[in-house]
Amino acid sequence: MLRAIENAINTVTTPVSKVLRHVAGILLLIMTIIVVAQVLFRYVLNIPLSWTDEMSRFLMIYMTYLCLPFVYLTDKNIAMTFVTEILEKKAPRLFSFLALLAHISAILVFAVWIKFGWNFFQTGSVMADSLPIPMFYVYIIPPVMMGVTILYALQKCVASIRGVLGDFEDVSQTAKTAELFEAPAVEEAPAKEPKQTQSLEPEAAA
């Protein structure tokens, strides 16, 4: 039952996280081009652009929130894992129980974030300083992506409940999903054994 629920959620969350991650990568590329253009116009042509700083800041906000579901799904957030790795090996059920509490706490934090984010969104009728867009378009991304990430937290909760019950199989295959976007490990070439020099001395007669 729990496997079926997790698998059903995963059929939606994994493709969505991949698409959002690709979109975030495109935004990062655009932001890089804008920043480079600003440097060239300011220090080479001596014609500073007024909109590049604000535009790159907005793109950074979008890029960060669009990456959040993928980071949550694949456990790629910044963390000190030396304790959790030991606990996961020595007491996997206890680790799953603590992970369940962490995911429930994350859902509560996301819910609060959505509430305050929506309140902030309602103040977005003002226009941006240097761009002809209302701030609605910037303020909407945090509550929307927090709501999307709650679905990923629920998926993690189901996986943790399975772990508490003794089922540790990676049904969502999050490890494989993370490996798709990681650089392949460079295998070191095996050290060549030194060639044995043939003895130039004639063998002694038996």
pLDDT tens series, the chain, 206 aa? 888 888 888 888 888 888 998 999 999 999 999 999 999 988 888 888 888 888 999 999 999 999 998 888 888 877 777 777 887 788 888 888 998 999 999 999 999 999 998 988 888 778 888 888 888 888 999 999 999 999 999 999 998 898 888 877 776 666 666 665 555 554 554 555 555 544 444 444 44
Tell me, what's the pLDDT at 4? 85
Phi first, then psi: what are they for 9, rounded to 5°?
A: -65, -40
Tell me, what's the pLDDT at 181? 56
Signed CA dihedral, 24, 30, 33, 35: sign only: negative
Tell me, what's the pLDDT at 22? 92
pTM: 0.77
Q: How far is CA 147 from the centre of its chain?
A: 16
Tell me, what's the pLDDT at 47? 85
Give the C-alpha distances (Å, rounded to integers) separating 153 from 6, 13, 41, 46, 110: 11, 10, 44, 49, 10
Q: How far is CA 203 from the centre of its chain?
A: 67
Give the CA dihedral 135, 114, 95, 66, nearest 10 degrees: -30
Nearest-angstrom CA–CA distance, 96 and 2: 14
Nearest-angstrom CA–CA distance, 74 and 56: 27
Give the C-alpha distances (Å, rounded to integers) separating 96 from 20, 45, 100, 130: 28, 58, 6, 48
Token readout for 76 is 């790629």
